[in-house]
Amino acid sequence: MDEDARRRHSSSFGAAATAYAEHRPDYAQAALRWALESAPGARVLDLGAGTGKLTATLAEVSGDVTAVEPDPEMLAELRRTVPDVRALSGSAEAIPLPDASVDAVVAGNAMHWFDMAVAGPEIARVLAPGGVLAGLWNVVDDRVDWVTGLAAVSGSAAIGPRDTPASWRVATATMHLPTTGEARFGSPEQAEFPHGQRRTADSLVATLATRAGMLVMPERERQEALDRIRAYLASRPETADGEFTLPMLTCALRVRRL
C-alpha cells in the first residue's frame, strides 16, 4: 500500500466511530499480560487508541494508562466509553508526552498505520530505558472451515493481509522497523492467544463493514460485498440462525527499546 492509500485508509474510521465502538471486538487479556510482562514498570500508553477497545482492557490489567488518538470522532467516543482514562489528541508520529514517561507502548489494530520512520523515534523517545513496544491484532481463525469460506467470500477489503494467523505472522514480523533511518528496537517476538466474539449474522456483517478497506469502497461495491457476506452466513448452519462465536486469536508482536 502506498503512502496516499495508507493515509486514506487510516483516516477512514472517524465516520464510523459509533459502529466501530459497537461492533469491533475487545482483546484477550492473556495477550496483554504477555505483551507487558517484561516492561520495566506499569505506565502504559495506548497509541492509536481508536474508540478505546484496547484501552478498556488495559485499564483492567494496569492502573496507569494513557490513550492517544488522532481522529476527533474516535477520540470523543473513547472519552465517552472509557471516561476514567486520560485520553489525549495526538498520533504515533507526534506523541504529546514527555521523554521516558511510559514503560510500554501498545497499539491495538493500529501499528500498521504508523509511519515508523517518524513514529519509531517518537515511540523510543517516550519509552523509559528497557521499555516495550507491542502491537496487538485480532485475527479470524481460518483454520476453522466456515471461517476459511468467510475469508474467501469477503475478499481482502474485509479480511485482509493481517487478518488470519499465518498471514499476520508474515505481515508483522518487521513492522517495528523503519523504512529509512536507524532501528530503535530489538528482535521481535510473536505470540497468539485464543479469543472469540459472540456475533449474529447481522452483527458480523456490521463488524466487517467497519474495516478500512470496506469504508473507503465506493458505496455500490461496498453494499455488493456486504450482501455476498450476508448470503454466505445465511447458507452456513454454523451462522444461519441466532448467536454464534466467531473463532478468533489475539496476536501480539513485542519488541524492546534499544
pLDDT in tens, 211-251: 888 988 999 999 999 999 999 999 999 999 999 999 999 99
| Cα 83 from Cα 101, distance rounded (Å) | 21
Cα–chain center distance at 229: 22
| Cα 197 from Cα 139, distance rounded (Å) | 11
Q: Let me know: does 226 contact 118? Beta carbons within 8 Å.
A: no
Phi, psi of 107 (to 5 degrees): -140, 125
Range list of H helices, the chain: 3-10, 17-23, 29-36, 53-61, 72-81, 116-126, 145-154, 165-172, 201-208, 212-215, 219-235
Q: Given the DSSP bridges, would you call strands 43-47 and 64-69 parallel, antiparallel or unpaired? A: parallel
Query: For position 4, what pLDDT does the model report?
Result: 56
Whether pTM exceeds 0.75: yes
Query: For position 84, what pLDDT does the model report?
Result: 95
Average pLDDT over residues 121-130: 96
